[in-house]
């Protein structure tokens, strides 16, 4: 009995001293080694009288656990002290720069195209494309703009042959023609892409971007056109209300035709879209001309609908406060870095168009 008590007292006291790891290991083997004090006691259990044996074993186990815990704690204490001492010497200057990383950017026109596609996707439009090089028929004639029509003067066209039969498309409208020739109605498409006009000054570039829209079905009227564009403009500029004006205009391929203005004002030198008493023209649209439908073998007595064309670069300029159209195509690193978008910033319906 007293043996156990003595071991307990002796070693508890010892382990309370300031010990090195070696000294603790020494104690550990004195107690729990093959012939250690505790180990030997366990061997003695058999020689203990039966009446006392149960109590002895229980006491022994208790003392064993106690001492083992003491040792483990002591070791942990020393090890953590050691680590702390080591860490104390390992301080680095974390304000030094991180390893270099590369970050690219998406061009604002590409971002805007993705935004536009995302908005029209929600209301059921799909994306169509057409070639940059077009024939004169798809670009003009099929769109009810015959040769020797003054409306052709509205487009300064780049030609690729002397006969003026092959050209760079002056608008995305020929995609309407291609789409309708290829498939059967109904049609509900947008067609973003590059367009070309031989015009170059501060506000015109020889290449720019348009998005065409076309919705043809049995009963699509001007109210649908107004609703679609009203929805698009609100979503695009991320405003709840938009001041919008439809006014009559003329395009050979639509009848009736309209141009759409949105209200704006200048606040602290920045343009604010959707309010104010100034008007800004942003797109042209109208009901697809029956002649165009006939040209693509769609029966205008059964099908009707609208088309629109929007300048993408201009929309990007308005939304992101870019002043100079020419800069879009100048590839100045500083400009791309300033106006570009992070590639992970993908516009979508559920997470919103912009951050």
Partner 1 sequence: MKITFDWLKDHLDTKLKEDKLLEQLTNVGLEVESVENLSVGLDLFKIAKILKTEKHPNADRLKVCDVDVGEKEIKKVVCGAANAKEGLITIYAPPGAVVPKSKVKLVVAKIRDVTSYGMLCSESELNLSDESDGITELSPKKYEKSIGKSYFSKSDSNLIDLSITPNRPDCLGVRGIARDLAASGFGKLKNLKEKKIKSNTKQTVKVKISKEKNQACSSFGSCLITNVKNTESPKWLKDKLVSIGQKPISAIVDITNYVMLDINRPLHAYDADKIEKGIVVRNSKSGEEFTALDNKSYKLDNGMCVISDGKGVLGLGGIIGGTRSGTEFDTKNILLESAYFEPRSIRSTSKKLNLDTDAKFRFERGIDPSSIEDGLNKAALLIKEICGGEISKIDIQRIETDKIRTIKFDTNLFEKITGFKISLKEILKILEDLGFKIKKEKQNLKLTIPTWRPDISQEIDIVEELVRITGYDKIKIIDPIKERTKSTLTQSQKLFHFLQRAIASKGYFEAITWSFTDSNYNDHFKDKNKEIKIVNPISSELGVLRNSIFSNLIMYMNKNLDRGFKDLSIFEIGPIFSGSNPGEQNTVVCGLSAGKRSRLSWIEKERNVDVFDIKRDVVQTLVEAGYNSDKFFIDSETPNYYHPGKSGRLFLNRGKDQIAAYFGEIHPNIIKKIDIKTESLVGFEIFLDNLKLPKKTLKDQKTKFAVSDYQKSERDFAFVVNKEVKAQDLINAVSSVDQKLISNIRVFDVYEGENIPENQKSIAISVTIQSSEKTLNDNDLENINNSIIKTVENKTGAKIRS
> Can you spell out the DSSP letters for 194-253?
EEE-S--SSS--SEEEEEEEEEEESS--HHHHHHHHHHHHHHHHT-S---EEEEEEEETT
Looking at the DSSP assignment, which residues form a beta bridge with residue 311? 210
Token pair recorded at residue 202:
């501060």
Q: Which residue has the tokens 């494309």?
A: 129
Q: Per-residue string for binding with partner 1, 89-108, x by CB under 8 A?
A: -------xx-xxxxxxxxx-
Token pair for 192: 């973003």
328 binds partner 1 (CB under 8 A): yes
- Sketch the per residue contact string, 263 through 282, with partner 1: x for CB under 8 A, - otherwise: --------------------
Q: Is the Cβ of residue 33 or residue 131 nearer to partner 1 in the bound state?
A: 131
| Residue 141 binds to partner 1 (criterion: CB under 8 A) | no
- The verdict on 22 binding partner 1 (CB under 8 A) reads no
109 binds partner 1 (CB under 8 A): yes
- Bond before 206 cis per omega within 30 degrees: no
Please check whether residue 318 is in contact with residue 310, taking contact to mean a CB–CB distance below 8 angstroms: no
166 binds partner 1, rule: CB under 8 A: yes
174-185 CB burial, b ≥16 within 10 A, e <16: bbbbbbbeeeeb
Count of C-beta atoms within a 10 Å radius of residue 244? 17
Least Å distance, CB 72 to partner 1, is: 33
Among positions 34, 89, 334, 355, the unique one binding partner 1 when judged by CB under 8 A = 334
For 185, list phi and psi in degrees, rounded to 5.
-65, 160
Q: Other C-beta atoms within 10 Å of 254: how many?
A: 24
SS3 258: strand
Q: How far is the CB of 222 from partner 1 (least distance, A)?
A: 5
Q: Looking at the chain, how many residues does it have?
A: 355
Compare residues 22 and 153 and give the one whose CB is closer to partner 1.
153
How many residues of this chain bind partner 1 (CB under 8 A)? 89
Range 43-82, binding partner 1 (CB under 8 A): none
Which of 11, 56, 140, 196 forms a contact with partner 1 (CB under 8 A)? 196
- Give the DSSP letter of residue 152: G
Q: Given the rule CB under 8 A, which of 2-10, 22-30, 270-278, 327-335 is the region that contacts partner 1?
A: 327-335
- Decide: is 135 part of the binding site for partner 1 (CB under 8 A): yes
Q: How far is CA 179 from the centre of its chain?
A: 30
Interface with partner 1 in residues 213-232 (CB under 8 A): 219, 221-224, 226-228, 230-231
Minimum separation from the CB atom of position 249 to partner 1 (A): 6
d(CA 177, CA 171): 12
How many Cβ atoms from other residues are within 10 Å of residue 108's Cβ? 23
Q: Is 134 in the site for partner 1 (CB under 8 A)?
A: yes
CB 154 within 8 A of CB 257: no
Distance of closest approach, residue 286 Cβ to partner 1, in angstroms: 9
Task: Give the 3-state secondary structure of residue 201.
Answer: coil
| Closest CB to partner 1 among residues 41, 112 | 112
CB of 15 to partner 1, least distance (A): 43
Q: What number of CA atoms fall less than 13 Å from residue 186's CA on the CB side?
A: 13
**Which of residues 289, 308, 310, 353 is near partner 1 by CB under 8 A?**
289
Please choose, out of 11-19, 36-44, 63-71, 254-262, the segment that lies near partner 1 by the rule CB under 8 A: 254-262
- Dist CA 104 CA 347 (whole Å): 17
> Judged by CB under 8 A, does residue 10 bind partner 1?
no
Using CB under 8 A as the binding rule, whether residue 151 contacts partner 1 is answered as: yes
Rounded to a whole number of angstroms, the minimum distance from the CB of residue 7 to partner 1 is 47
Residue 237 near partner 1 by CB under 8 A: no
């Amino acid at each position: 009995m007293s043996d156990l008590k003595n071991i307990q007292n002796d070693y508890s006291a010892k382990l309370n001293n300031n010990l090195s790891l070696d000294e603790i290991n020494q104690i550990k083997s004195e107690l729990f080694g093959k012939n250690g004090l505790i180990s030997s006691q366990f061997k003695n259990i058999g020689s203990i009288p039966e009446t006392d044996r149960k109590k002895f074993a229980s006491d022994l186990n208790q003392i064993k656990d106690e001492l083992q815990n003491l040792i483990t704690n002591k070791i942990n204490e020393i090890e953590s002290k050691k680590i702390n001492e080591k860490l104390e010497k390992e301080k680095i200057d974390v304000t030094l720069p991180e390893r270099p990383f590369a970050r690219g950017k998406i061009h604002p026109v590409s971002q805007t195209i993705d935004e536009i596609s995302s908005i029209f996707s929600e209301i059921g439009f799909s994306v169509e494309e057409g070639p940059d090089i077009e024939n004169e028929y798809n670009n003009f004639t099929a769109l009810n703009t015959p040769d020797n029509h003054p409306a052709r003067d509205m487009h300064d066209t780049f030609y690729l042959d002397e006969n003026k039969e092959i050209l760079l498309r002056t608008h995305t409208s020929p995609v309407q023609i291609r789409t309708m020739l290829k498939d059967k109605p109904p049609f509900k498409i947008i067609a973003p892409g590059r367009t070309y006009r031989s015009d170059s000054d501060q506000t015109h570039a020889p290449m720019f971007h348009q998005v065409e829209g076309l919705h043809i079905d049995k009963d699509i009227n001007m109210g649908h056109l107004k609703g679609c564009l009203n929805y698009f403009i609100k979503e695009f500029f991320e405003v709840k209300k938009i001041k919008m004006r439809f006014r009559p205009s003329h395009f050979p391929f639509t009848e009736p035709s309209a141009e759409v203005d949105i209200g704006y004002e200048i606040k602290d030198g920045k343009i604010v879209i959707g309010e104010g008493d100034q008007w800004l023209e942003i797109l042209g649209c109208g009901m697809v001309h029956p002649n165009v439908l006939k040209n693509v073998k769609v029966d205008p007595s059964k099908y009707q609908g609208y088309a629109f064309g929007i300048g993408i670069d201009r929309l990007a300029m308005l939304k992101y406060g870019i002043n100079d159209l020419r800069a879009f195509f100048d590839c100045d690193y500083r400009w791309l870095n300033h106006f570009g978008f992070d590639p992970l910033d993908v516009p979508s319906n559920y997470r919103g168009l912009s951050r």
